[in-house]
């Protein structure tokens, strides 16, 4: 099984709908991240969390919210989806020790907002 699991893998929704993307991890990492990828723009950070009680906005947080339900779970919500939120979304985790600052990514969720 994957260490970082994202669900769903693909989602099509309509403008104005609320949608939640979920991420769970078995790596035991405290730090979790949500990114979006758009063609030609690379990955941009939406939100990040260094532990259950610590949640921070990234560079493009407008229109998104997150919930860190447990160390292993970090969900991203689009309260009212709009077409320019169509993108590939990635969850990532990072830990300490020998893997310090290395981020491990889920397989991604491809979201289309019509």
Interface residues toward other proteins, by CB under 8 A: 31, 33, 40-45, 48, 58, 88, 90, 92, 94, 96, 100-108, 110
Q: Which of 39, 32, 35 lies closest to 53 in space, CA to CA?
A: 32
Distance of CA 114 to the CA centre of its chain: 20
- DSSP-assigned beta bridge partners for residue 43: 37
Taking the C-alpha atoms of residue 23 and residue 90, their distance in angstroms, rounded to an integer, is 9
Q: Of 47 and 85, which has the nearer Cβ to other proteins?
A: 47
CB of 44 to other proteins, least distance (A): 8
CB of 36 to other proteins, least distance (A): 11
CB of 80 to other proteins, least distance (A): 26
**DSSP code string of 32-70:** EEEEEEETTTEEEEEEEEEETTEEEE-TT-TTEEEEEEE
CB of 30 to other proteins, least distance (A): 10
Q: Of 26 and 80, which has the nearer Cβ to other proteins?
A: 26
Q: Of 84 and 98, which has the nearer Cβ to other proteins?
A: 98
């Amino acid at each position: 099984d994957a260490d970082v699991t994202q669900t769903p893998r693909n989602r099509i929704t309509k403008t104005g709908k609320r949608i939640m993307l979920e991420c769970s991890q078995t790596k035991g990492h405290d730090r979790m991240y949500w990114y979006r990828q758009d063609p030609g723009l690379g990955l941009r950070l939406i939100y990040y969390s260094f532990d259950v009680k610590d949640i921070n906005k990234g560079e493009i947080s407008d229109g998104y919210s997150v919930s860190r339900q447990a160390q292993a779970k970090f969900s991203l919500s689009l309260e009212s989806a709009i077409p320019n939120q169509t993108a590939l979304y990635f969850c990532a985790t990072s830990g300490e020790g020998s893997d310090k600052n290395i981020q491990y990514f889920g397989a991604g969720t491809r979201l289309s907002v019509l």
